[in-house]
C-alpha cells in the first residue's frame, strides 16, 4: 500500500522540552487514520509540522510521495485540506463571504465551493454572519473550507470538538465516506471511543512519542490482558512482594507475560499460598489506550 | 499573488466600518480645526493679512492632526488585523500559501489607500471651511498641499508600524494604548526642540509642519524633508524585515 504521509525522526523541541519525539508516522492511502493522544501529547504540534505551520527541529516529512521542502511546499499545500486547533472563519462576514475568500485565495471554481458547502450541509446558513454560528456550524464551515480544494489528504485536528453526539456522528460518516472516495483522512482526538468507530488505522501518541501504530486488532494483540488470581489469602501473596493489587476474589496483576505468569504461580504454590484459580480478563480498548499513554494526566 | 491579497483585504473590509471610522475622524478634524473660525476675534482679522488668518487656520490644522492621526492609524490597523487573530485567519491564509508578512503588506496597502483619499479630502474641507467662513486674505495653496503630503507620508509610516504591532501583539488594547500615547507625543512634539521630535515616530508630525509659532505671529518653516526621508526609509526597512521574519515564525 502507498503511504500518503511518512515521517522519519520527526522531532520538535521548544527550548529544553521535546514535545514531539522521533516520530515515524506511516499513513496509508485512502484510510481514516486516527491520531490519538491525551492532552498535551503533541498531536497539534505534529499536524502543524506536517502543514509547515511549525518547523521540525529534526527529521523529514514525505507527503503524497514527495519530500516536503521549500520547493515542493506550495504545490503540496494545495492538495492538503486542513483544520488545526480552532476552526477558521471571519466572524464579521457571512458563511458565503468566507467561502468566497477561500475560493479567491486558492483560485477555485464556484462548483468546487458549492459542493464543499453541500457536503457539510451548510447551505441554509450561508447568508448568516459567522458570528451568529453555533460551534457545530463553525466546525462545518471550517471543514467546508478544507474540502473546497478537493484535497487528496485531509488533516483535521479534533474536528468534533464541542459537537453534540449527532454532530459527531455526522462528521464521522462524512470522513468515512471521503475515505471511501479515496481521500486520505488524518484525524486527531483525545477520545479513543470517538476515533475508534471511524479509523481503520490508529497512531497513538504518549508524551510526544508514538507508542503504537497499526490496526485496532493489532492494538489488542499487543496488549497483555490482566491476570486475576483467586486466593483466600491475598495478604500472604502481597507479603511475598508480588506486584499486584487486591481484587474481589484475590489479586489482580497487569502486564504479565506467559513466562512471568508461570513463575508467579510456581512462587505462590512454593510459599503455600492457596491458589483457587488463575484467569485472564480482556481489557477494554480504553484501558489499552490508557496503559499505553500513561494513566496520569500529562498537562 | 500580492494583487490577490489586496483584493481579499478589500473583501474583508466589509462590515468592518473602516470607511466610517475614517469619515468620522475627518469630520472631527475639520470641526476641531475650524472651531476657532467662529470666534469674533478671528472674524475681525479675516481681511487683514497682518492677522494671518490662513496661517492661524493651518497651525490649528497641524495641531489637531498631530493629535488625531496617531489614534486614527491605530484604530484602522487594529480593526483590519484583529480579524485574523479572531478568525484563525493567519493559519487559514498560510495553508493556502499566503504568508503573514504578505497579509500585513496587503492590509497596509488597503488602509494606506484609504488614508490617501481621506487626507486630501480633509485638507480641502478645512480650506473650504475657511473660505466659507469669509477669509478674504489671498490663499497660498502651496503650503497646504505641502503639509497634506507630509501628513500623509507620516500617517503611512505610522500605519505600517501599527499594522505590525497589531499583528504581533494579539491584545489590541496595546496598540490602542500606543496610539493614545502617540496622540500626546504628536501634540507635544510641536513644542519640543526639533532634535527631540526627530527621535519619536510621532515627532514627525512636527517635522512636516510648514509653520512655527514665532515671537510675533506665525513664521514660515522649511519642513525637515531630509529627516522625513530618513524616517520613511527606516520604517520601510523595518516593515520589510519584520514581514520577512513574520513569515518565518510559527503558528
Ligand atoms: N509554541 C510553543 N511553545 C512552547 N511549548 C509549546 C508550544 N506549542 C505547544 N507546546 C507544548 O507542546 C506540548 C504539546 O502540545 P500540543 O498542542 O501539540 O498537544 P496536543 O496533543 O494537541 O494537546 P490537546 O489535546 O490539548 O490539543 C504541550 O505540552 C504544549 O505545552
Ligand atoms: Mg491540540
DSSP B130-187: HHHHT--SPP-HHHHHHHHHHHHHHHHHHHHHHHHHHHH-S-HHHHHHHHHHHHHHHH
Please name the member of B14, B87, B96 whose beta carbon is closest to the beta carbon of A106. Answer: B96
Binding site membership of A19 for ligand 1 (Cβ less than 6 Å): yes
Alpha-carbon torsion A186, A188, A192, A195, what sign? negative
pLDDT-above-90 percentage for chain B? 80
Among A41-55, A209-223, B179-193, B231-245, the minimum mean pLDDT is found in A209-223
Rounded to whole angstroms, the Cα distance separating B13 from A90 reads 11
Mean pLDDT of all residues in chain B? 93
Question: Which residue did the predictor score with more confidence, B221 or B21?
Answer: B21
Nearest CA owner, ligand 1 atom 4: A14
Nearest CA owner, ligand 1 atom 25: A39
User: Inter-chain contact B11–A54, Cβ cutoff 8 Å?
Assistant: no
Query: Which ligand 1 atom sits nearest the alpha carbon of residue A45?
Result: 18
> Quick check: B251 pLDDT over 70?
no
Looking at residue A1, its pLDDT comes to 54
Contact between A139 and A161 (Cβ < 8 Å): yes
C-alpha cell at A273: 499460598
Contact between A87 and A120 (Cβ < 8 Å): no
pLDDT-above-70 percentage for chain B? 99
Mean pLDDT of all residues in chain A? 89
Query: Which ligand 1 atom sits nearest the alpha carbon of residue A14?
Result: 4
Nearest one of B244, B228, B210, B63 to B158, comparing CA atoms:
B228
**DSSP element (H, E) containing A140:** helix A135-147
Looking at residue B243, its pLDDT comes to 92
Looking at residue A298, its pLDDT comes to 42
The band of A295, judged by pLDDT with boundaries at 50, 70 and 90, is low
Rounded to whole angstroms, the Cα distance separating B62 from B39 reads 19
User: Inter-chain contact B12–A86, Cβ cutoff 8 Å?
Assistant: no
- Does residue A166 come out as left (phi exceeding 0), alpha (psi in the -120 to 50 range) or beta? alpha
> Quick check: B205 pLDDT over 50?
yes
Nearest one of B232, B69, B209 to B143, comparing CA atoms:
B209
Sole residue written with cell 492661524? B56
The band of A129, judged by pLDDT with boundaries at 50, 70 and 90, is very high
Q: Which chain A residues have a beta carbon less than 8 Å from that of B103?
A: none
Q: Which chain B residues have a beta carbon less than 8 Å from that of A158?
A: none
Contact between B178 and B169 (Cβ < 8 Å): no
User: For residue A36, which ligand has an atom nearest its CA?
Assistant: 1
Q: Which chain A residues have a beta carbon less than 8 Å from that of B95?
A: 51-53, 77, 80, 82
Domains of chain A, residue spans: 3-220, 224-281
Binding site membership of A14 for ligand 1 (Cβ less than 6 Å): yes
Among A248-252, A254-258, A288-292, the minimum mean pLDDT is found in A288-292
> Quick check: A283 pLDDT over 80?
no
> Quick check: A223 pLDDT over 80?
no
Q: For residue range B48-101, list pLDDT tens digits in order.
A: 888 899 999 999 999 999 999 999 999 999 999 999 999 999 999 999 989 999
Q: Is residue B129 packed enough to be buried (19+ CB in 10 Å), middle (13-18) or exposed (0-12)?
A: middle
The CATH code of the domain at A3-220 is: 3.40.50.300
Cβ of B136 under 8 Å from any chain A Cβ?
Answer: no
Nearest one of B15, B25, B17, B32 to B73, comparing CA atoms:
B25
Burial A101-115 (b: 16+ CB within 10 A, else e): bbbebbebeeebbee
Looking at residue B47, its pLDDT comes to 87
The band of A297, judged by pLDDT with boundaries at 50, 70 and 90, is very low
C-alpha cell at A75: 504545490
| Mean pLDDT in residue range A171-183 | 92
Q: For residue range B106-145, list pLDDT tens digits in order.
A: 999 999 999 999 999 999 999 999 999 999 999 999 999 9
| Mean pLDDT in residue range A211-227 | 83
Min distance A202 CA to chain B CA atoms (Å): 25
Min distance B103 CA to chain A CA atoms (Å): 12
In a mutagenesis test of the B interface, which of A15, A92, A130 is the best target, namely the one with the most B β-carbons within 10 Å? A92
In a mutagenesis test of the B interface, which of A82, A94, A105 is the best target, namely the one with the most B β-carbons within 10 Å? A105
> Quick check: A222 pLDDT over 80?
no
| Mean pLDDT in residue range A246-266 | 87
| Mean pLDDT in residue range A84-91 | 93
User: For residue A297, which ligand has an atom nearest its CA?
Assistant: 1
In a mutagenesis test of the A interface, which of B17, B79, B96 is the best target, namely the one with the most A β-carbons within 10 Å? B96
Q: Which chain A residues have a beta carbon less than 8 Å from that of B11?
A: 93, 97, 100-101, 104
Q: Strand A153-157 relative to strand A184-189: parallel, antiparallel, unpaired?
A: parallel
Min distance B92 CA to chain A CA atoms (Å): 6
The band of A227, judged by pLDDT with boundaries at 50, 70 and 90, is confident
ipTM score assigned to the predicted complex: 0.90
Looking at residue A111, its pLDDT comes to 96
Looking at residue A299, its pLDDT comes to 40
Residue window 71-100, chain B: list those with CB within 8 Å of chain A: 83, 86-89, 91-98
Q: For residue range A56-72, list pLDDT tens digits in order.
A: 999 999 999 999 998 99
pTM of the model: 0.87
Cβ of B107 under 8 Å from any chain A Cβ?
Answer: no
Question: Which residue did the predictor score with more confidence, B219 or B69?
Answer: B69
Contact between B54 and B140 (Cβ < 8 Å): yes
Secondary structure class of A14 (helix, strand, coil): strand
User: Inter-chain contact A89–B98, Cβ cutoff 8 Å?
Assistant: no
Task: Name the residue of chain A whose CA is nearest to B98's CA.
Answer: A105
Q: Which chain B residues have a beta carbon less than 8 Å from that of A82?
A: 95
Binding site membership of A40 for ligand 1 (Cβ less than 6 Å): yes
Amino acid at each position: 500500500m502507498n503511504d500518503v504521509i511518512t515521517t522519519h525522526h520527526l522531532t520538535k523541541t521548544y527550548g529544553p522540552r521535546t514535545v514531539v519525539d522521533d516520530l515515524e508516522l506511516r499513513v496509508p492511502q485512502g484510510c481514516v487514520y486516527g491520531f490519538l493522544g491525551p492532552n498535551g501529547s503533541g498531536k497539534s504540534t505534529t499536524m502543524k509540522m506536517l502543514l509547515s505551520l511549525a518547523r521540525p527541529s529534526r527529521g523529514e516529512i514525505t507527503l503524497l510521495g514527495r519530500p516536503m521542502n521549500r520547493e515542493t511546499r506550495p504545490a503540496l499545500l494545495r492538495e492538503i485540506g486542513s483544520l488545526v486547533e480552532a476552526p477558521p472563519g471571519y466572524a464579521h462576514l457571512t458563511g458565503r463571504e468566507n467561502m468566497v475568500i477561500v475560493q479567491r485565495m486558492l483560485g477555485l471554481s464556484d462548483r468546487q465551493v458549492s459542493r464543499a458547502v453541500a457536503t457539510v450541509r451548510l447551505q441554509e446558513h450561508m447568508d448568516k454572519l459567522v458570528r451568529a454560528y453555533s460551534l457545530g456550524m463553525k466546525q462545518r464551515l471550517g471543514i467546508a473550507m478544507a474540502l473546497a480544494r478537493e484535497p487528496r489528504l485531509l488533516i483535521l485536528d479534533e474536528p468534533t470538538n464541542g459537537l453534540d453526539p449527532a454532530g459527531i456522528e455526522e462528521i464521522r460518516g462524512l470522513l468515512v465516506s471521503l475515505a471511501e472516495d479515496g481521500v486520505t483522512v488524518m484525524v486527531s482526538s483525545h477520545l479513543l471511543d470517538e476515533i475508534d468507530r471511524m479509523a481503520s488505522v490508529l497512531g497513538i501518541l504518549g508524551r510526544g512519542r508514538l507508542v503504537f501504530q497499526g490496526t485496532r486488532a493489532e492494538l489488542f494483540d499487543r496488549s497483555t490482558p490482566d491476570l486475576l488470581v483467586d486466593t483466600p489469602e491475598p495478604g500472604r501473596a502481597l507479603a511475598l512482594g508480588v506486584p499486584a493489587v487486591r481484587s474481589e476474589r484475590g489479586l489482580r496483576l497487569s502486564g504479565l507475560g506467559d513466562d512471568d505468569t508461570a513463575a508467579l504461580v510456581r512462587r505462590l504454590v512454593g510459599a503455600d499460598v492457596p491458589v483457587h484459580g488463575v484467569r485472564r480478563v480482556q481489557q477494554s480498548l480504553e484501558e489499552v489506550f490508557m496503559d499505553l499513554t500513561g494513566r496520569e494526566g500529562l498537562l | 499573488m500580492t494583487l490577490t491579497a489586496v483584493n481579499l483585504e478589500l473583501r474583508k473590509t466589509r462590515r468592518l466600518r473602516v470607511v466610517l471610522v475614517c469619515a468620522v475622524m475627518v469630520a472631527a478634524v475639520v470641526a476641531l480645526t475650524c472651531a476657532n473660525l467662529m470666534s469674533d476675534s478671528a472674524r475681525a482679522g479675516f481681511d487683514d493679512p497682518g492677522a494671518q488668518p490662513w496661517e492661524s487656520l493651518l497651525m490649528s490644522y497641524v495641531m489637531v492632526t498631530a493629535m488625531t492621526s496617531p489614534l486614527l492609524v491605530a484604530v484602522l490597523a487594529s480593526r483590519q488585523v484583529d480579524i485574523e487573530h479572531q478568525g484563525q485567519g493567519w493559519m487559514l491564509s498560510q495553508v493556502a500559501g499566503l504568508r503573514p508578512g504578505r497579509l500585513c503588506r496587503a492590509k497596509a496597502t488597503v488602509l494606506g489607500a484609504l488614508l490617501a483619499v481621506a487626507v486630501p479630502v480633509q485638507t480641502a474641507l478645512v480650506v473650504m471651511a475657511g473660505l466659507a467662513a469669509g477669509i478674504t486674505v489671498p490663499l497660498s495653496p502651496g503650503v497646504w498641499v505641502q503639509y497634506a503630503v507630509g501628513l500623509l507620508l507620516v500617517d503611512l509610516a505610522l500605519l505600517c508600524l501599527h499594522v505590525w504591532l497589531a499583528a504581533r501583539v494579539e491584545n489590541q488594547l496595546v496598540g490602542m494604548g500606543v496610539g493614545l500615547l502617540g496622540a500626546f507625543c504628536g501634540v507635544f512634539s510641536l513644542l519640543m526642540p526639533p532634535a527631540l521630535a526627530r527621535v519619536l515616530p510621532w515627532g514627525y508630525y512636527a517635522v512636516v509642519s510648514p509653520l512655527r509659532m514665532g515671537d510675533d505671529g506665525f513664521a514660515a518653516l522649511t519642513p525637515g524633508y531630509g529627516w522625513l526621508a530618513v524616517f520613511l526609509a527606516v520604517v520601510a526597512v523595518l516593515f520589510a524585515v519584520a514581514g520577512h521574519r513574520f513569515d518565518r515564525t510559527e503558528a
